[in-house]
């Protein structure tokens, strides 16, 4: 009789194993339709409070996990058969190994590799779905609560910027495309004063750190410094607006309410002449800010330069050039003589005036589109926002790469960072306002619907943690500013 060689025997065994494996997979695939039908029947028959679509999605995920582990189990069985075959051959040759230990090691290695691949696949493919599922099970006690407290209505065109005074009396200032800036009572929403000295759109407003003076930048190529005196009215009871979890009551409808012509306050006093006018720019002045101490101001313009002025003499001290395109924003450090300027050239620059003899500049390159704003925090960080839909947190001691990156679904406008809690408020082109911590974790999204919130692009945000009623303000091109009360639980910030 013919005798099979060892090689032909091994080939025949390998062929049988592949055939067995293919049959197992075929049997698995042939039952998928029956299993899916059974799952649908289970979804319809079970008594659950979860929505039908969510339950169906969960079952689909679990069925895929089951199929992956079933394939893994079949592979492990084949490994066991190979180990047994090897042990039989070694025993015939007079050698023996601990089959159990060998099987354990082989199975552990294979299982570890397959499980790692499975974990990565599920994490990549179903990250969005699972994050939504997990967020729906968060305890309500740990969720941020955002309450719309008051609306400030009176401008006849969109609002570009807003700011809060640093001294008493504490008022809100707004800058509008209607060529005016207004001061408002935070508690009552009443207009206290209207500045009408500009001949173009008022693009920014900032208050002096210690005196009752305001700095406004305008499209008429000038920046104005003007003094104000206001008397706060008697506070009125806050409207009964229920507290709304920040993620709820969101309406993404494109339908806007009828705007109508907003009538400005008739009894609001006005100022038409500036105390000081700064006129050195050759283009639109898009932003301005006070340096620490309030003796100098910096302005940013579309002429690609930022100018440093002496407040007392109105003289130009320095012209900061280097940007390749129009500037979009400027900001000063709260305690040091540092200035950061943003530009359409996708960069922002840090100017150091701490040493009078040396004026150093550092260029930050990390965005791919216009940098709409860059602001300082109390520490050694700068936070930049861009039209590339990202926000980046930078360490002034290491400027090569950001320490955190926030990716969003819409262009980001003039951002602000709270002093105490270090929360970043992001106003978006898509009418949303989102809150993040400094590590890039999203904390909340302000509610927006046809009943409350902004109906147009949100241009700016500003924190005011000294006020107990409203601690966050936003403004946009729906001609209004909004005061919010934001309550972020400590537990949520530490996550």
The domain spans of the chain are 151-229+268-492
- Tell me the pTM: 0.69
Supply the CATH classification number for the domain 151-229+268-492. Answer: 2.130.10.10
pLDDT tens string, the chain, 495 residues long: the values are 444 445 555 555 555 554 444 444 444 444 555 555 555 555 555 667 788 888 888 888 888 898 888 888 898 898 888 888 888 888 777 654 444 444 444 444 444 554 555 555 444 444 444 444 444 444 334 578 899 999 999 999 999 999 999 888 999 999 999 999 999 999 999 999 999 999 999 999 999 999 999 999 999 999 999 999 998 887 665 554 445 566 544 444 444 444 444 444 557 899 999 999 999 999 999 999 999 999 999 999 999 999 999 999 999 999 999 999 999 999 999 999 999 999 999 999 999 998 877 778 899 999 999 999 999 998 889 999 999 999 999 998 888 899 999 999 999 999 999 988 889 999 999 999 999 999 999 999 998 887 789 999 999 999 997 877 899 999 999 999 999 999 888 645 555
* CA distances for 350 relative to 161, 321, 342, 359, 363, angstroms: 22, 12, 9, 10, 7
Q: Other CB atoms closer than 10 Å to residue 328's CB: what's the count?
A: 26
Secondary structure (3-state) at 315: coil
The H or E element containing residue 115 is: helix 99-125
The answer to whether 202 and 160 have CB atoms below 8 angstroms apart is yes
The H or E element containing residue 131 is: helix 127-136
The answer to whether 106 and 206 have CB atoms below 8 angstroms apart is no
């Amino acid at each position: 009789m013919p005798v099979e060689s060892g090689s032909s025997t091994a080939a025949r065994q390998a062929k049988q194993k592949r055939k067995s494996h293919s049959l197992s997979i075929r049997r698995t695939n042939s039952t998928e339709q029956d299993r899916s039908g059974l799952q649908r029947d289970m979804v319809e028959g079970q008594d659950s409070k979860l929505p039908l679509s969510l339950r169906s999605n969960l079952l689909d995920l679990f069925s895929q996990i089951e199929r992956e582990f079933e394939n893994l189990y079949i592979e492990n069985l084949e490994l066991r058969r190979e180990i047994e075959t090897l042990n039989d051959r070694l025993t015939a040759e007079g050698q023996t190994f601990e089959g159990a230990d060998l099987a354990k090691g082989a199975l552990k290695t294979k299982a570890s590799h397959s499980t790692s691949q499975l974990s990565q696949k599920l994490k990549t493919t179903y990250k969005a779905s699972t994050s939504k599922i997990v967020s729906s099970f968060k305890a309500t006690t740990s969720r941020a609560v955002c309450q719309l407290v008051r609306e400030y209505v009176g401008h006849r065109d969109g609002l570009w910027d807003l700011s809060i005074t640093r001294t008493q009396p504490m008022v809100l200032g707004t800058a509008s495309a209607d060529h005016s800036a207004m001061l408002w009572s935070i508690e009552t929403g009443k207009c206290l004063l209207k500045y009408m000295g500009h001949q173009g759109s008022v693009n920014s407003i900032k208050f002096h750190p210690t005196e009752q003076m305001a700095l406004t930048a305008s499209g008429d190529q000038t920046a104005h410094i003007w003094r104000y005196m206001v008397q706060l009215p008697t506070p009125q009871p806050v409207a009964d607006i229920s507290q709304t979890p920040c993620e709820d009551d969101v309406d993404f409808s494109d339908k806007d309410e009828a705007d109508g012509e907003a009538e400005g306050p008739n009894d609001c006093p006005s100022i038409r002449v500036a105390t000081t006018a700064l006129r050195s720019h050759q283009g639109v002045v898009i932003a301005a800010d006070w340096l620490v101490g309030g003796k100098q101001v910096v302005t940013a313009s579309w002429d690609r330069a930022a100018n440093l002025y002496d407040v007392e003499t109105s003289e130009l001290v320095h012209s900061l050039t280097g940007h390749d395109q129009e500037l979009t924003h400027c900001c000063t450090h709260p305690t040091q003589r540092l200035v950061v300027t943003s530009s359409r050239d996708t960069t922002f620059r840090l100017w150091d005036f701490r040493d009078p003899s040396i004026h150093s500049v550092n260029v930050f390159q990390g965005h791919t589109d216009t940098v709409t704003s860059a602001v300082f925090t109390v520490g050694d960080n700068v936070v930049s926002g861009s039209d590339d839909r990202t926000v980046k947190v930078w360490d002034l001691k290491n400027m090569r790469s950001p320490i955190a990156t926030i990716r969003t679904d819409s262009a980001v406008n003039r951002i602000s960072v709270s002093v105490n809690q270090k929360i970043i408020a992001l106003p978006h082109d898509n009418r949303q306002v989102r809150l993040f911590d400094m590590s890039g974790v999203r904390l909340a999204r302000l509610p927006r619907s046809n009943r409350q919130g902004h109906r147009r692009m949100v241009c700016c945000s500003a924190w005011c943690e000294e006020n107990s009623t409203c601690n966050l303000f936003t403004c946009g091109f729906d001609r209004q500013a909004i005061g919010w009360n934001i309550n972020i639980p400590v537990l949520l910030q530490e996550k």
